[in-house]
Amino acid sequence: MPPITEFTNEGLTFSVTEAGPADGVPVLLLHGFPQRASAWAGVTPLLNDRGFRTLAPDQRGYSPGARPTGRRQYSLRHLTGDIAALIDEIGAPVHLVGHDWGAIVAWAVASNHPDKVASLTAVSVGHPGAFMRSLRTSSQALRSWYMVFFQIPWLPERLLTMRSGVGERMQAKLGMTPAMVEQFRTGIVDDGALPGGVNWYRGLPLTSPSFVGPVSVPTTVVWSDGDHFLSRAQAVESERFVRAPFDFAPMEGASHWIPEERPTELAEAILARIASVV
């Protein structure tokens, strides 16, 4: 079958990076903020070498043909519907992997469309229910200050687009390498993807917490102890919301940016989860 380079949903067109054997079992990789499909560049060859077909979309707000205006277009229901449509295009259940915001979408897809998901590997972000619990029981509330900040109109975009400004310095302090900061500059800011990316945060209050219920597919949560944004509690307590085999895979000494920083270890965690259901 020809590779999938794009798909459509709700009148929007999304770009997709596909690699690996066309007849391989599909692994669908969802990026987070502020990144694009290229965040998986270190992971995909490792999966392809093991015979898997990988697909990584630029999601809503990031694909040039899928940048609606207004925060209502970025609710979790819309983001979940996009990925469900892509899985329908693939034509078979996928092994679903998501990092950061991509993990939130992955949890929502696995919860609402279990027939489309063979396994789930959530990277950095645990189940939304566990995240909400951790706000009361751990340091997560302090770590999540930026989610409130991003609700402010136009100011976050202003700060993040200033060259050598607050946003750039913050990214470096939180673990981004100079190459990653430059990728943010060219692939997000200069390409016009930043407003859509920030709107994911602004759209979050528009979806009921009950939208993401328990997950019934085999699940692994990968978390790094150098993550400034996300606590161990929200990762570990995700097991409460999984009605299937569950593994917690901690990484020592890694920052939040696991796909770029630890691609080999992450690929092995993904492959281990896949092997458990094949």
Note whether 14 and 60 are within 8 A (CB): yes
Task: List CB contacts of 46: < 8 A, sequence separation 6 or more.
Answer: 263, 264, 267
Residue 26: inside a domain: yes
Cα separation, 221 vs 59, whole angstroms: 21
Residue 160: inside a domain: no
For the chain, the domain total comes to 1
Note whether 209 and 132 are within 8 A (CB): yes
Residue 74 dihedral angles phi and psi, to the nearest 5°:
-120, 20
Q: What is the pTM of this model?
A: 0.94
Strand order in the sheet with 53-57: 6-9, 12-19, 53-57, 26-30, 94-99, 117-123, 219-224, 246-251
Domain span at residue 269 reads: 6-154+194-275
Residue 256: inside a domain: yes
Residue 178: inside a domain: no
One DSSP character per residue, 225-250 reads TT-SS--HHHHHGGGGGBSS-EEEEE
Nearest to 29 by CA among 18, 20, 21, 250: 18
Residue 182: inside a domain: no
Instruction: Map residue 84 onto helix, strand or coil.
Output: helix
The per-residue pLDDT string of the chain (278 residues; one tens digit each, 9 = 90 and over) reads: 789 999 999 999 999 999 999 999 999 999 999 999 999 999 999 999 999 999 999 999 999 999 999 999 999 999 999 999 999 999 999 999 999 999 999 999 999 999 999 999 999 999 999 988 877 766 766 676 666 667 767 777 877 777 666 666 667 766 788 888 888 889 998 999 999 999 999 998 898 889 999 999 999 999 999 998 888 999 999 999 999 999 999 999 999 999 999 999 999 999 999 999 97
Residue 137: inside a domain: yes
Residue 179: inside a domain: no
Residue 175: inside a domain: no
Q: Look up the CATH number of the domain holding residue 108.
A: 3.40.50.1820
